[in-house]
Structure 1
């Protein structure tokens, strides 16, 4: 909706004297809260998306088709016309007598009042020159008089919502800029040379002069932008490095395997040899566990690189030392995959494993809870049910979170709190009066993280990377088909099934409607059942009871089912070596890392495997880039790099699920020099100017520092 100067930003109505209640909030105020604009500093850091030049007027007779300009004149005609739909048509004549038609397809009574015949109006928009002369469609406009001054700086256009008009937001930001505490907190010697003071940088970015180069403003290379990026990166690095230092003062049990103990016996019993990368990261983890400070390590590796066995070896070290280990996975299917593998490896060695998920009820659940609380079970595997209040551990020494990015931030924080509570309540096996011991924490992710991301988002984590796949894995060929060739795809999977292979057919989740998810999956299930007579086609989706899901997955794993139609519940953890074909329907709806995860469900045996991506056009540029990347590489680290290019760091790292984007301004690839400077400066600032470091973190992150701990 174009703004009009005749519509003031109205304050909220006063509280009722009779009720004595608090003043009611206006719609714009509520919208500002929803955008996180609660403090003056929040508004000061709410930077424009772009700018409009309202500092000059252009005579209409000098305008050309396609020009975006601002003109001023008298309304000589204003009428509503119906041509299939109602339109407001307004003729404006400038002081030289040239005319332009202002066309509004959506309008309100206030528009008609402001644009009445005889009114003097300033309008800005794109000129279109057609058969009937000059025209602007939906220009911004305002009522003026001959003395109304022109703007002296470029006009900011802010990210906003329908309930928050630009005029209201501009006034709020300008007011907040005057009040916000923007005094320098950093020592002058620690600010990179050539960067302006913070207050000057923000004033410039909100109200740049007409001479400011729009290109450097829009590509964020202007020194004012560089100052903000540096400030943000420094606050983030300070928070992470401070968390790392705080952890260094905590105490944890020093866990070491004994000669001939569980760790060595597990290594000897494994039916395969570890890769060099697996041995290296297992040694890194074992060295951490042997220290009396809590480990805080991320284990990352590509799909199928063998992270589970590394986790099992870490668990064996903890249990060998007389402590318990808890392993938490985001879904029951993934948790059960771990459960079955760990039982197969560890139960023959005398380890008791407890299984705790939301679907286990009654006596069976209580039996597992008792086994964990008494210490009878030394390994506890489950979903987020593991962090429920009723779950107690006897002597928890190590917690492992698989696919940590798929847990909500609130869940990850709850686990950390539970670990702290367990430590506070546990009996210390060390010296008398030494205080509680905190468990070690190992997080795993099958989404490889580019180095710049690991440096920034995981500055308080040690990162171990499995960069080698086990030998004997079959190559995966990726093919891309348009939806019109769906019948060809069905023929290909029929041939694969005829050859004794098994097939996944994945249907996308539609976030807005579980009913549509189910309809899509069930229709595909029925269609494939008809197209493959005599073959068994299974169905797996999120609405099925856990027991039914487990039964269906067990049938597919044992070879009873030829084809499994599923939603993305099979994205991670499922390991069926005989499955050699993966079909992903509506592939354009999936993120790149998710497509790579799904593709990783095949290629687990010795037979060459195929991943088929079916898309429905037209494809966006992002959709084309994703499918092109999938067709060109199977390297998870290259996939991660391209994913970072396509999505940006915030979305790549799951900032959406956290509800708090941690980097708003900096770009980790373009701003690598600023990141390096911030990383180098953070420890000096913490050591020499701790108060300045605290103020910097509070200014930029506020309550979001909690998210960094997750």
Structure 2
């Protein structure tokens, strides 16, 4: 007898468009819905007499339809006249359905909400929200929330879903007594208030997030974030790393002896902080930050010397080939005379040359490996990787940083990790996104750096700028001219750079003008940079491939075209390419009007200060932490409600409380992180 075939599994019910839209917004759990807070509120709790309406102010009125007709003027319009005891209001609909006309027939009582206009022909509302009511239909008991949504997600659907999620969500107090700052409501009361504020609520306090209910949410969120960072830090502390200690009279001291300059006090201080970390058997996780030109590379070289002296390898990874090559040349100059082998691994190194470098890294013959993302490829093996250095760490994603750490997994060890950034991190940001990092700051520039004067010109003054360049190159100066490069319009921007190169070549007859852009081969880029570095080339027209790492002390004039297109940190990085020698240096920002408010703020900041820490603070003010960090860097926007500038006192309280909560109430701490961050906490472990 033939076997009965198994019944097919029941088909999964297909999801509706609103359900898919909710998932896209991350509204999956009941707690997600409970924490999806309104953007603003509409007041449906009161009725305004028609005669009391004010021009351009939203209001709700109630009246009886006295006339409803379609009028054919320049376009079809539905005109509905509504009357209450105080006066008459005209409702005007430019887009309507026959069902609406039927709904608003004469003698129907309507409740109407919209923005009033008072003109020559009386009071009117255009496309108001209309609801048919009875004489005794009750008013809303609380303000009506308007939620962040999408085109596929109607407000009515979302309001119902949020109300259901709020009712079902487990909002019991997780935190033990005495933890929450005094004067703040319970989490349940805070959320109920914010989703359904009473009519008496201050719209300003709600909108500006100043209400105690908002403070409770911000505190909870900051506490969860601090706890997750502290957990990540403690988990790392349980891991084992090789204890790296240099020998007396060893490589570290030899490097110091051959350097052609004295370290600044700040460089000495941070080098000692790093050396102390490397000597411990727990993995270092340190951020080395310093302004443009503060001398981070030599500190990295000293850290590498300690690791190599202890018999381990070091890898240095940079985001671009030009930056990686700058490091490579400096490190070879300092370390090869001391007998070290430095390997070079990038995407452009192919064939036998690549195989030779891979073998040198795998055998341990290359004590230092410098390169780009290619360093973290599976084919790249290390004999004993003790220290990984990541330059411009914000340019690398979480997965890439993890891949570099995994290079030592076979030995059940973690490499020490030193991350470098020329974009200083404002204190409040360091206390949140980098709470699990030790931060070393080089807050002193090497002597001999010339001050940089920044000047801002409109596009109409471009010819004047070219005249200044002619005078500068005649005097022996070297000049950068930077054209913006935006991915969406790369071909257009490349044409702009090519045209600018042709124009300057014609204007500066007798002086070499070079062109550098992202589409050139690595060999061509290297050849152009070599000419500029040697002084054989007077002007370098470039896209932003020269943003970081390029070091030509004789270059004393930087022109940035379409400066309004650049971010503040990027402008500061570009400006840092000049002022590296003894010559007085100038940075010229050319913009095309009209400027947005953000554009004005950026250019104003550039003209007013050359302090990278102040630039970073202003950049945080302009962009907010999410944009400042970038989603690839932070893994996700980890703070939805708290404002790092305004809520610094709550951040300090959360930071102080986190260790005590983790030590004394570990289960409560874990539930707090799960409630607020869910899977986002994983991003903090890289």
TM-score by length of 2: 0.94
Aligned counterpart, 2:434: 458
Determine whether 1:129 maps to 2:112.
no
The runs of 5 or more residues in structure 1 that have no matched partner are 1-16, 427-435
The match for 1:41 among 31, 48, 64 is 31
The whole-number CA distance in structure 2 between the counterparts of 1:19 and 1:507 is 59
Of residues 392, 403, 408, the one that matches 1:414 is 403
- Give the corresponding residue for 2:181: 192
For the structure 1 residues 218 and 273, does the alpha-carbon distance in structure 2 shift closer, same or farther, using more than 3 Å as the test? same
Aligned residues: 678
Q: 2:458·2:590 contact (CA, 8 Å) conserved in 1? A: yes
Q: In structure 2, how many angstroms separate the alpha carbons of the residues matched to 1:547 and 1:134?
A: 72
> Which runs of 5 or more structure 2 residues have no equivalent in the other structure?
1-6
Query: How far, CA to CA, are the matches of 1:111 and 1:490 in structure 2?
Result: 67
Q: Is the 8 A contact 1:115 1:121 kept in 2?
A: no
Determine if contact 2:68/2:101 at 8 Å carries over to the other structure: no
Q: Distance in 1 between matches of 2:620 and 2:415?
A: 33
CA distance in 2, matches of 1:59, 1:504: 67
Shift of 1:102: 3.8
CA spacing shift, 1:551–1:92, aligned 2, 3 Å: farther
Cα distance change, pair 163–273 in 1 and its aligned pair in 2 (3 A): same
Asked whether 1:296 is paired with 2:267, we answer no
Say whether the 8 Å CA contact 1:505–1:564 is kept in structure 2.
yes
Alpha-carbon distance between aligned partners in 1 of 2:98 and 2:417, rounded to the nearest angstrom: 60
Q: Aligned partners of 1:522, 1:136: CA distance in 2, in Å?
A: 55
Instruction: Give the distance between the partners of 1:78 and 1:371, measured in 2 at CA.
Output: 86
Shift of 1:630: 0.6
Greater mean deviation of Cα atoms: 465-474 or 556-565: 556-565
Shift of 1:41: 1.4
CA distance in 2, matches of 1:507, 1:374: 44
The residue number in structure 1 matching 2:3 is: none
Residue aligning to 1:424: 409
Displacement of 1:497 in angstroms is 1.9
TM-score, normalising length: structure 1 = 0.91
Q: Which residue of 2 aligns with 1:214?
A: 203
Q: Which moved more, 1:598-607 or 1:142-151?
A: 142-151
- Distance in 2, Cα, partners of 1:512 & 1:103: 42
Distance 1:245-1:529 versus aligned 2 partners, 3 A rule: same
Distance 1:139 1:656, change over 3 A: farther
Which residue of structure 2 lines up, in the alignment, with residue 590 of structure 1? 566
State the match for 1:226 in structure 2: 215
**Native 8 Å contact 1:89 1:101 kept in 2:** no
| Contact kept in structure 2, 1:114 and 1:143, CA below 8 Å | no
Change (3 A) 1:538 1:264: same
In structure 1, the partner of 2:4 is none
Query: Residue 30 of structure 1 aligns with which residue?
Result: 20
Give, in whole Å, the separation in 2 of the partners of 1:367 and 1:82. Answer: 82
Give the conservation status (yes or no) of the 8 Å contact 1:90–1:115: no
CA-CA distance at 1:292 after TM superposition: 1.2
1:441 aligned residue (417, 420, 425): 417
In the other structure, the counterpart of 1:311 is 300
1:294-693 to 2 correspondences below 5 Å: 294-416=283-405, 418=406, 422-426=407-411, 436-655=412-631, 658=634, 660-693=636-669
> Counterparts in 2 of 1:244-283, with a 5 A limit?
244-283=233-272
Contact 1:71 1:94 in 2 (8 A): no
Distance in structure 2 (CA, Å) of the matches to 1:437 and 1:576? 40
Q: Is the 8 A contact 2:397 2:635 kept in 1?
A: no
Post-superposition Cα deviations, 1:39-61, rounded to whole Å, max 9, x if no partner, equal: 22112111111111111121211
User: Partners in 2 of 1:508 and 1:111 — Cα distance?
Assistant: 54
Alpha-carbon distance, 1:89 to partner = 4.4
1:77 & 1:36 partners in 2: Cα distance?
Answer: 44
User: 3-state DSSP class of the match of 2:178?
Assistant: helix
CA distance in 1 between partners of 2:424 and 2:99 (Å) = 53
Cα gap change, 1:36/1:395 in structure 2, threshold over 3 Å: closer, same or farther? same
Mapped contact 1:73–1:92 kept (Cα < 8 A)? no
